[in-house]
Amino acid sequence: MITFINMTLKNAWLQRYAVNSADPGVFVLLACGTISSTCGQLASYPLALVRTRMQAQASVEGAPEVTMRGLFKHILKTEGAFGLYRGLAPNFMKVIPAVSISYVVYENLKMTLGVQSR
């Protein structure tokens, strides 16, 4: 999903603004990576949160075993929909730069090696 969004944004930028070059530049690649990473995190973070909470509960002796569905319901009931995104800001601070830089390196390596996109 992230790669699809990144390539879609990059191609849209190239079609609209690139006149004589197929190189969008570092800042455009960083922006596309940031937006695509943000979309991916928003879509997948609730699952990661539930997984982390289930792992934490499994390490507590005597804690009742909770299903994924039951934990989703519990979070929604006690914390509301925003509870599924608790801790997202620190996660963004970690993931967005990493993914954005990865896409810049990927695109630069593609150009250096002469690999063409389909």
Whether this prediction's pTM lies above 0.85 is answered by no
* Domain spans in the chain, listed from the N-terminal domain onward: 2-111
Residue 14 confidence (pLDDT) above 90: no
Q: How far is residue 98's CA from residue 94's CA, in Å, rounded to a whole number?
A: 7
Q: pLDDT tens, 35-68?
A: 999 999 999 999 999 999 999 988 888 888 889 9
Task: Report angle CA 66, 70, 71 to the nearest 5 degrees.
Answer: 75
> Contacts from 10-16 at CB under 8 Å and sequence distance 24+?
10/107
Helix, strand or coil for residue 82?
helix
Q: Cα-Cα-Cα-Cα dihedral of 107, 112, 114, 118, to 10°?
A: 0
